[in-house]
Amino acid sequence: MQDVIAWLKENGDLKIIDEPLDVELEIPHIAYIEVKKEDSRPILFTKPVNKAKGIAYEMPVLMNIFANKQITQKIFGKHPDEVAEGIEELLKLKPPKAFVDKLKMLPKLFKLKNVFPKRLSFKGECQEVIVPKAEVDLDRLPILKTWEEDGGPFITMGQVYTQSLDGSMQNLGMYRLQQYDKNRLGMHWQIHKDASHFFDQYQKAGRKMPVTVAIGGDPLYIWCGQAPMPHGMFEMLLYGFVRNKNAQLVKSITNDIYIPRDVDIVIEGFVDPEKMEIEGPFGDHTGYYTLKEPFPVMEVETITMKKNPVFAATVVGKPPLEDKYMGWATERVFLPMLKPMAPDLIDYYMPENGVFHNLILAKMQVHYPGHAQQFMHAFWGVGQMSFVKHAIFVGEDAPELEDHEAFAVHVLNRLDSEKILITQGIVDHLDHSSSRQFVGGKLGIDATGEAVAEGVAEPLSDAVLLERLQKIDADIITLKQYMAHTKNPVCVIAINKTRSQKKLMKKLREFSRHIKVAIIVDHANNDLNDPYMLIWRVVNNIDAQRDVKLKEIIAVDATNKGELDGFEREWPGDTFCTKAVLDTLQEKGLIDIDERFIRRFGLLPFNSE
């Protein structure tokens, strides 16, 4: 992995685009479309430019490094399940009782010596070029602006290295960084993250906080940056465990933070705890814009780099994206770490259209009534699992979790409002649906056990049901029923919203002989024939305590919220591509998409007919 480009050419079917393309919208739009394809590939843009600033950059931009499962596995050098097996084996280690047992342990312990990062006393390749403070200019880097409404250009694959005030703990996180000008970056470390906790320490002490941001190098550094390690554990330990060799670190030029010797670009600086600046908006991995909010500011002291650096970036927005494959690896690797607090857990799966923290599916061994509810509380009380909004638990007789159709049938045949738990807890910093930031509703479905006895008493066709529903509410435009052959068919209703949906949800109870589950969505920008994106929309848009009713039928209000609902927070917009940019790229032959593709992935606004 010393030369990532050469490695990707050989192992990742690297796509190379030599046409000069703008870092504002053009390059991100191409990467966004590419990663949604079945055969998506990494892309190297060799001639990035910034038309607005009149800049032709000296370094290429590399995107979609984690383009598919195959390349992700190659980056790891093994299947992530193998990494998980190694972790599970270590978690089960017991002190040896006999001399023979000690001898048997030696190979395992010998491997562990490679886990710990090694600090080097000399400079690394990442410090071949050193830019002094007086010459620092972030415009030398091809920093991308992904979405038209973004607050500016953002570094999207920065490895952010921080340390605690006393230097005893170091952290690697992957946070977006907004470029304000030539030497300042907005530090979007969210309130629940380790870097934010470190910042609190510096703020209380009234001291500036050192920060070093690395870009590029071994792609595994990037994955480690988003891995949900326990608090206080340095993510580079995970790198050593996966690679079975020590991460080699060098000291930053202007602070005491150590970073990998072979990254491409290093940005060093300090955060003044007295200075905050508005960061955002930013089209994030939820598929929505995160709104403007004050965050700390990093003042850059120096930039160092290799002689021929490559600028790594990612694009976020509506799924699927490369975080699908990074998340898949994370899911597999961290399964053994969940089992100690949930020993009867068999497997779990976080679908990318649930944007990971919004939906988890889990399979378990059930030993007694209420066991699944016990699991729900366990999940909501530990680490990053505590951000999960919606959890569905099934027994060991259920189909494979990734067999979406069979899994849905299994759950709907066991769906019972008496076994649905709605509670409250913390939600992700990026969650927009809760009435109060950081705290919102949680929903758990216990779909273990036998199928329910009764289904729909009097099924109706879509056409007949639509006609009857339109008589009680003129805002209803269309509907579609899913899984009619199950005990609990799902009726998705699209409306032109002119008022709160509380009255409609109450009126729907009158149709309990025809409807078991009703989900209400906005007519605009929702395709009722696309369950993948409907799931994305629903789990993003609901707060279970406010939007889910369980009386007589299960009714869910997944519409956008606002003044009509008494919702006082600002509701963000979808991430949409810029049509003029798509048209230009299509004319140049750089993308090949049709209306079906555009609609399928919600690239542009549309109505649901």
Q: Where are the domains of the chain?
A: 4-313, 339-446
Q: Are 400 and 346 in contact (CB under 8 A)?
A: no
pLDDT tens digits for 175-216? 899 999 999 999 988 777 777 888 889 889 999 999 999 999
Return the beta strands (E) in 218-358 as ranges.
248-251, 258-260, 265-279, 282-283, 289-290, 293-305, 311-313, 345-349
Confidence of residue 298 (pLDDT cuts 50, 70, 90): very high
Strand order in the sheet with 118-119: 118-119, 248-251, 258-260
Instruction: Report the pLDDT value the prediction gives residue 258, as an integer from 0 to 100.
Output: 96
Torsion 403-406-412-414 (CA) sign: negative
Confidence of residue 92 (pLDDT cuts 50, 70, 90): low
Instruction: Report the pLDDT value the prediction gives residue 168, as an integer from 0 to 100.
Output: 85
Point out the least confidently predicted range of 239-243, 388-392, 412-416: 239-243
Element (H, E) at 535: helix 531-541
Instruction: Report the pLDDT value the prediction gives residue 526, as an integer from 0 to 100.
Output: 95
pLDDT tens digits for 391-415? 999 999 999 999 999 999 999 999 9
Count Cα atoms within 13 angstroms, Cβ side, for 306. 19
Point out the least confidently predicted range of 139-148, 152-161, 264-273, 422-431: 422-431
Mean local confidence (pLDDT), 357-369? 92
CA–CA separation, 329 and 296 (whole Å):
31
Tokens of 374: 């016990």
Return the beta strands (E) in 308-419 as ranges.
311-313, 345-349, 360-364, 390-395
- The CATH code belonging to domain 4-313 is 2.30.110.10
pTM above threshold 0.85: yes
Domain 339-446 superfamily per CATH? UbiD C-terminal domain-like (3.40.1670.10)
- Of residues 2 and 124, more confidence is placed in 124
CA–CA separation, 238 and 559 (whole Å):
41
pLDDT tens digits for 476-520? 999 999 999 999 999 999 999 999 999 999 999 999 999 999 999
Confidence of residue 234 (pLDDT cuts 50, 70, 90): confident
CA–CA separation, 332 and 321 (whole Å):
18
What are the residues whose beta carbons fall under 8 Å from the beta carbon of 368, sequence distance 6 or more? Answer: none
CA–CA separation, 368 and 350 (whole Å):
25
CA–CA separation, 430 and 283 (whole Å):
11
Q: Say which residue the tokens 């490559």 belong to.
A: 310
Task: Inform me whether the pLDDT recorded for 15 exceeds 90.
Answer: yes
Point out the least confidently predicted range of 31-35, 211-215, 348-352: 348-352
Torsion 447-449-451-454 (CA) sign: negative
Structural Rg of the chain based on CA atoms? 25
What are the residues whose beta carbons fall under 8 Å from the beta carbon of 184, sequence distance 6 or more? Answer: 277, 297, 298, 299, 300
CA–CA separation, 384 and 405 (whole Å):
28
Instruction: Report the pLDDT value the prediction gives residue 100, as an integer from 0 to 100.
Output: 56
Instruction: Report the pLDDT value the prediction gives residue 339, as an integer from 0 to 100.
Output: 79
Confidence of residue 320 (pLDDT cuts 50, 70, 90): very high
Question: What is the β-pairing status of strands 209-215 and 170-174?
Answer: unpaired
What is the maximum alpha-carbon separation in the chain?
81
Residue 400: closest CA among 388, 391, 408, 390: 408
Mean local confidence (pLDDT), 355-369? 91
Confidence of residue 85 (pLDDT cuts 50, 70, 90): confident
Residue 234: closest CA among 272, 194, 185, 292: 194
CA–CA separation, 431 and 358 (whole Å):
9
